[in-house]
Amino acid sequence: MEEDYTKYIPLIIIGFMTLMQIYMRLSTRLVRGKKISSLGDVATTEQQKMERLIIYFTSGFCGPCQTMAPMIEQISTETGAIVKLDALEYGELATEMGARGAPAFVLLDNGVINKVHLGALTEKRIKEMLKL
C-alpha cells in the first residue's frame, strides 16, 4: 500500500517560505556596521554629508510601496534624508545593503549601515529612524 505524500505539500511550502523569511532577516543583520563607500550616483552631495540617511528601495509593482509613496515623498521633501531607489534598477546596491525585497529601508549613520528594515513602515517609525 502506497502512502499519499501530496498531503505534505502545504507543509513543505510553509516550511520553505519560513526558511526564506529567516534567511532574509538574518542577511539584513549581517550588513550592519558595513561602510558604504560611495553613494555618488544615487544621493546628492548634501545627502551624503547627512548624519542620518535612509535609502528606500521600492518597486513599481509593490502594493505597499505605492501605498506609502505620498508619505515617503512628504518626509523626503521635509527632511531631504530619504533617497528613493528602484530595487530592480539598483539591484546590486540593494543586495550590497542587505535589502532583499521591496519595500526596504536602509538606515545609514555617517555612511555606515545601522539598520535594514524589510517591509512597510508608518510615518512615525520612519521619523523615529531619522530621530526627528
Q: Report how far residue 40's alpha carbon sits from residue 83's, in angstroms, rounded to the nearest whole number.
A: 12
Task: Please give the pLDDT value at position 2.
Answer: 77
CATH (domain of 51): 3.40.30.10
What is the rounded distance in angstroms from the CA atom of residue 101 to the CA atom of residue 124? 22
Give the count of domains, the chain: 1
Give bridge partners of residue 116 from the DSSP assignment.
106
pTM above 0.85, yes or no: no
- β-strands 104-109, 52-58 pairing: antiparallel
Quick check: 24 pLDDT over 90?
A: no
Under the banding of pLDDT at 50, 70 and 90, the label for residue 1 is: low
13-23, pLDDT tens digit by residue? Answer: 999 999 998 88
For residues 90 and 42, the answer to whether their CB atoms sit within 8 Å is yes
Which range marks the domain in which residue 9 is found?
Answer: 5-130
Q: Judge whether 68 and 82 are in contact, CB under 8 Å.
A: no
By CB atoms closer than 10 A (0-12, 13-18, 19+), residue 52 is: middle
